[in-house]
Amino acid sequence: MKVLHVISGGETGGSKKHLLQLLKNSPVEAELLLLTEGAFAEDARKAGIPVTVVQQNSRLDRSAPRKILLVLKKGGFSIVHTHGARANFLVDSVYKKLGMPWFITVHSDPTLDFLHQPKPLAKVFTVLNQRAMRRADHLFAVSEKFKDMLVQMGVQPRKITPVFNGINFHETLPDFDNRAIRESLNTEEDDFVFAIVARLHPVKGHDILLNAFAQIDQPCKLWVIGDGDQSQKLRDQAAALNIENRVQFLGARTDVDQLLYAADVSLLTSHSESFPLVLLESADMATPVIATNVGGVPALVDPGKTGWIVEPGRADALEHVMSKAMQANTQEMGSMLRSFAKENFSNEKLQREIHQIYKSVLKLN
């Protein structure tokens, strides 16, 4: 069994982390095909993952599908596994020539993937992506909710397996210097800190978070970690709400684990998610979470014990639980979250589950 994973290569968030961890020390022979050079390719090579780059000069570059097909045939692969709409489009265009099972991991809600595109274009891309999902031999849905959504899109239920994301947990909780981390960000040791790690995109709900944060009448700080095209808009919103002195926009960081470790609570305010890796990363740092009721969040968060769950888009509900968190024993909650997550959401478990499905589908073909 030899698997070629295909993804665009420009990703910086959860899907990139997911793939790098999934392919490193994989129980099956696996390689990565990207559509552009960059940090993703560099990080994969550093991890010892074989990488092929098929440079796609534009979305209309029609040579890319043929190049992917050539890599599949010459490389002796028995499975192709795509991640993200762009990879799905390209493999779908040579679907009839594959001669091998095609798997897709659905990392995000296909109906929301193109919010940033003009409406006519978004509609076309959404239709094409859903067609690709119906054609694939098998899909991994990163939550039960996503499985239900795919069935509603016309995908046969027998072709869908829900699999929760996993990460490589530290064997023991790291002993980072909490005081030094906070001092580097002009934050006092006894300040209550909320942190959100997410790209600055409308689907992540930062605007709702800022509205909620502005309503909190207790001293606290908010670390906004990540980049995106909403950066200036969110900074302007913080200024308009008169909270710019309590909100720190930290941009993209390479020390996310340390920032989560130093925060009191980790936030996820998205309107849609699959099973966010950042929640597992927060659990690894024993930091409890406040998350919207999206994707597989309820499978991880036990409300009142390891964190809190609120409905998306509700600034009032979010403010309520954020204020509640400031009075809670967050250390105890974080410890409980870490124990539960480590036992149930490891990368090794995810690798085994996917391997088993590969074998089952290969037997049927």
Q: What is the pLDDT of residues 61-91, one digit of tens each?
A: 678 889 999 999 999 999 999 998 889 989 9
Per-residue pLDDT band at 24 (split at 50, 70, 90): confident
354 with 315, same domain? no
Q: Answer yes or no: do 196 and 333 share one domain.
A: yes
pLDDT reported for residue 86? 87
Say how far apart CA 87 and CA 85 lie, in whole Å. 6
- At 248, phi and psi to the nearest 5? -115, 120
200 and 82 in a common domain: no
Could you give the percent of the chain with pLDDT greater than 90? 67
Residues 6 and 153 in one domain: yes
Q: Is the pLDDT of residue 18 over 90?
A: no
pLDDT band at 306 (very low <50, low <70, confident <90, very high): very high
Let me know if residue 88 belongs to a domain. Answer: yes
Q: What's the CA gap between 247 and 348, in Å, rounded?
A: 37
- Note whether residue 172 is domain-resident: no
**CATH number reported for the structural domain that contains residue 111 in this entry:** 3.40.50.2000
Q: What confidence tier does 59 reach under pLDDT thresholds 50, 70, 90?
A: low
Give the pLDDT mean for 27-55. Answer: 91
* Residue 127 and residue 204 in one domain: no
Flag the least confident range among 13-22, 249-258, 282-291, 319-328: 13-22
pTM (predicted TM-score):
0.78
Q: Are residues 202 and 328 in the same domain?
A: yes
Q: Is the pLDDT assigned to residue 319 strictly greater than 90? A: yes
Question: Is residue 173, in this structure, part of any structural domain at all?
Answer: no
8 pLDDT above the threshold of 90: no
In a domain, 208, yes or no: yes
The whole-angstrom separation of Cα 280 and Cα 346 is 9
Indicate whether 274 belongs to any domain. Answer: yes
Are 257 and 215 contained in the same domain? yes
Task: Write out the residue range of the structural domain in which residue 148 sits.
Answer: 2-167+346-364
Same domain, 107 and 154: yes
- Identity of residue 1: M
Clarify whether residues 158 and 221 are in a common domain. no
Residue 154 and residue 248 in one domain: no
Q: Which residues contact 143 (CB under 8 A, 6 or more apart)?
A: 162, 164, 274, 275, 295, 296, 299
Q: How many domains would you assign to the chain?
A: 2
